[in-house]
Amino acid sequence: MNDLVPAQLQALRNSIDNIDAALIHMLAERFRCTQQVGELKAKHNLPPADPAREERQIKRLRRLAEESNLDPAFAEKWFNFVVAEVIKHHEHIASTQPAAKD
């Protein structure tokens, strides 16, 4: 192996590390937003899940994945994983917040 390979490998790994950090920060921001959504839903007695919106998002993300040369099935699995966690958070918020009075 020549000396360039380890340097190229390290440069690629540094880029991957930066991308991973950005993904974590973006997920944290996403969950800050979904926390607020959960609070609004609980306040207004809305269900934790919104299957119609989730279906629209899946179609949108699959299209974006295709445009980006990413496996759409992977994008959908990722989204379903995140949404399952969001719904758990929303259920928890709803169970701890007093019900709204109309």
Closest by alpha carbon to 54, among 92, 23, 99, 85? 85
pTM, two decimals, is: 0.83
pLDDT-based confidence at residue 5 (cuts at 50, 70, 90): confident
Q: Is the predicted pLDDT of residue 101 greater than 60, yes or no? A: no
Selecting from 1.10.10.60, 3.30.420.40, 3.20.20.150, 1.20.59.10, what CATH number does the domain 4-96 have?
Answer: 1.20.59.10
pLDDT confidence band for 18 (50 / 70 / 90): very high
Residue 52, pLDDT score: 97
In this predicted structure, the answer to whether residue 1 has a pLDDT above a threshold of 70 is no
pLDDT tens for 67-96 read 999 999 999 999 999 999 999 999 999 999
Nearest to 65 by CA among 55, 82, 79, 85: 79
Give the model confidence (pLDDT) of 28-59 as tens digits.
999 999 999 999 999 999 999 999 999 999 99
Taking the CA atoms of 89, 35, 24 and 81 in sequence, report the sign of the dihedral they define: positive
**Residue of 90, 96, 92, 101 lying closest to 40 (CA atoms):** 90
- Domain locations in the chain as residue ranges: 4-96
